[in-house]
Copies of this chain bind each other. A is one copy, B any other.
Amino acid sequence: MIQAKVAEILESNQFLQEFEINGWVRSFRSNRFVALNDGSTINNIQCVIDFEKFDPETLKRITVGAAINVKGILKESEGKQQRVEVEAKEVKILGDANPEEVKLTILSPKRHSLEKLREQAHLRVRTNTFGAIMRVRSKLSFAVHSYFQQNNFYYVNTPIITGSDAEGAGEMFKVTNFDLKNPPKKEDGSIDYKKDFFGKETNLTVSGQLEGETFALGLGQIYTFGPTFRAENSNTSRHLAEFWMIEPEIAFCDLDQNMDLAEDFIKYVVKYVLENCKDDLAFLEERLANEDKSKPAAERSDMGLIEKLNFVLENNFKRVSYTEAIEILKNSKPNKKKKFKYIIEEWGADLQSEHERFLVEKHFKCPVILFDYPAKIKAFYMRLNEDGKTVRAMDILFPGIGEIVGGSQREERLDVLQEKMEELGIEEEELWWYLDTRRFGTCVHSGFGLGFERLVQFVTGMGNIRDVIPFPRTPQSAEF
């Protein structure tokens, strides 16, 4: 007897071989056909039960959600739904699932809304949709590591708790060991952080970039892949308070090479899931197509999910300077007809999501890399161009997702960096260690950040970012 996963049995040609399978019952039709799933694939193995040969007490306990152990013989299936099936010889109930209780959960066999599934995030991975998403997410994670490791990047775990609040990427959560009812105070009434666990004010990181740079300027090329946090009250389908970010950083690399890297990287990971998640992607494509049917025609996708992924693989990302993009937008129909909420009037305007979507979805109809943004709307560490007013920043915009990558060539000149920090009121003492990298063998270097959940959204076609992470953290919600 071979103990095997459902995924293996479904591929097997060892007919008449006896197999042992553990799994959860997805359905039990006609007191005869058990659809069994063990998470190894989206597909179920059909176990055929001759009810006359089984104890009625056992049969009664084969209910949706129950865990069972089946021993049986592999056969070619007569049904058209499946190639193979298992003729059950023995069935053991491992864990019951009371049908009355199951009815109250998302395990019950009917269509549940994504909102309802979110409320039962501890069970939703047992549904087809979330099983598929989480398998794809896992494969995509491995593709990320594989790409960088194959290309001789080193993985670096930058700190999660940070004493530095100068990263400037957004609002931070505080981390403390104080009794909040009664934190120690100094004579002047301010909080005495010296008495806190770390002896100073600490926060959850918003980005590992600055620490990542110190490592790139020693190991040459590194990447991070870890959780980052934003304490922003954005209750949208595009924001999470806790999300995973990928941040490569490369010494001796300019913005053009940085764009090449980002494009090559994205194509690699998309190709990887196309090759390694065929069944799950096929299911997710169908799910998306069904979802689309309930939408107004204008909001439906032009392409199916897999077609869209192939499109990204096969086309160069369009590289457009901010200045060119502003010209395109200024002269666009929605701008002239005042259809945009924010009308583009002059160079220097920050681009809103509506503008990015116009460029990507209407104008270029492909992924777009915008570069050379006005210094004023970008972070302090980006390299100033010779024009004195733009910086070597780049954003990659994806259809349906918006910004998926934000990166830049970093300001490697100590004096220019110091000047910029002073202008923005960032204390040198806060970032002495960051400035040290410009003191001792500075060099041209670049990097980018990619929000992993945005990538998972793109690959799975899920519209809400809360549906591509196991347990989403959002304003007013930290269940589980």
* B-binding residues in A (CB < 8 A): 5, 7, 22, 24-25, 38-40, 65-67, 69, 94-98, 101-102, 105, 107, 120-123, 125-126, 131, 134-135, 137-139, 141-142, 145, 149, 152, 154-164, 171, 173-178, 180-181, 183, 185, 189-191, 197-200, 202, 204, 211, 214-215, 217-221, 226-227, 229, 231, 233, 241-242, 244, 251-252, 412, 433-434, 436-444, 469-471, 473, 475-480
Q: How far is the CA of A438 from the CA of B97 in the complex (A)?
A: 9
Asked if A7 and B174 make an inter-chain contact with CB atoms under 8 angstroms apart, the answer reads no
Q: How far is the CB of A178 from chain B (nearest CB, A)?
A: 7
Q: Which residue of B lies closest to A434 (CB)?
A: B122
**Bound-complex Cα distance A123 to B178 (A):** 32
**A441 surroundings in chain B (CB, below 8 A):** 24-25, 65-67, 94-97
Contact B95 A161 (CB under 8 A): no
Interface contact B477-A220, CB-CB below 8 Å:
no
- Other 17 A-B pairs with CB < 8 A, given A24-B441, A157-B469: A39-B221, A65-B441, A95-B412, A97-B439, A122-B434, A134-B219, A141-B155, A142-B149, A157-B227, A161-B204, A161-B229, A176-B176, A180-B180, A181-B185, A198-B476, A211-B471, A211-B480
**Chain B contacts for A444, CB-based, 8 A:** 94
Q: Are A443 and B94 in contact (CB under 8 A)?
A: yes
Q: Contact between B443 and A473 (Cβ–Cβ < 8 Å)?
A: no
A101 and B440 within 8 A (CB): yes
Distance between Cα atoms of A251 and B437 in the complex (Å): 48
Q: Which residues of B contact A157 (CB under 8 A)?
A: 137, 227, 244, 469-470
A154 to B132, CA, bound (A): 11
Q: Which residues of B contact A138 (CB under 8 A)?
A: 149, 154-156
List chain B residues, Cβ under 8 A from A173. 161, 175-177, 197
Report the bound CA distance from A141 to B47 in whole Å. Answer: 39
Question: Which residues of B have CB within 8 Å of A475?
Answer: 197-199
Residues of B within 8 A of A98 (CB): 439
Q: Given A22-B251, A40-B220, A131-B219 in contact, is the A174-B180 Cβ separation under 8 Å?
A: yes
CB-CB < 8 A to A162: which residues of B? 478, 480
Q: When the two chains form their complex, are residues B174 and A442 in contact, meaning their CB atoms are under 8 A apart?
A: no
Q: Decide: A231 and B95 in contact? CB cutoff 8 A.
A: no
The complex places the Cα of A18 from the Cα of B189 at a distance, in Å, of 66
Distance in Å from the Cβ of A3 to the closest Cβ of chain B?
Answer: 9
Chain B residues whose C-beta falls within 8 Å of the C-beta of A67 in the assembled complex: 441-443
Contact present for A123 and B440 (CB under 8 Å): yes
A279 to chain B minimum Cβ distance, whole angstroms, is 14
Known: A156-B134, A220-B5. A163 touches B480 (CB 8 A): yes
* Contact call B214/A7, Cβ cutoff below 8 A: no
- Is the pair B122, A214 in contact by a Cβ cutoff of 8 Å? yes
A226 to B164, CA, bound (A): 21
Given contacts A227-B226, A470-B158, A94 and B241 within 8 Å (CB-CB): no
A96 to B442, CA, bound (A): 7
Q: Which residue of B lies closest to A202 (CB)?
A: B478
A178 surroundings in chain B (CB, below 8 A): 174, 180
Q: How far is the CA of A160 from the CA of B472 in the complex (A)?
A: 10
Shortest CB-to-CB span from A244 to chain B, Å, is: 6
Q: Return chain B residues, CB-CB under 8 Å to A185.
A: 181
Complex CA–CA separation, A478 to B193 (angstroms): 12
A125-B219, A198-B475, A204-B175 known; A161+B442 contact, CB < 8 A: no
Complex Cα gap A142–B189 (Å): 49
Instruction: Knowing A40-B152, A134-B154, A442-B95, say if A241 contacts B122 (CB, 8 Å).
Output: no
Question: Do A218 and B94 have beta carbons less than 8 Å apart?
Answer: no
User: Do A107 and B155 touch across chains, with their CB atoms under 8 A apart?
Assistant: no
Q: How far is the CA of A437 from the CA of B122 in the complex (A)?
A: 8
Q: Is the CB of B161 within 8 A of A473?
A: yes
- Which of B22, B142, B202, B437 is close to A155, meaning CB atoms less than 8 Å apart? B142
Closest residue of B by beta carbon distance from A432: B122
Which of A126, A154, A155, A412 counts the most B-chain CB atoms under 10 A from its CB? A154
A181 and B176 form a contact (CB under 8 A): no
Q: How far is the CB of A296 from chain B (nearest CB, A)?
A: 34
10 sample A-B contacts, Cβ–Cβ < 8 Å, listed by A number: A66-B440, A122-B211, A122-B436, A134-B156, A159-B473, A177-B231, A180-B191, A197-B231, A197-B233, A199-B475
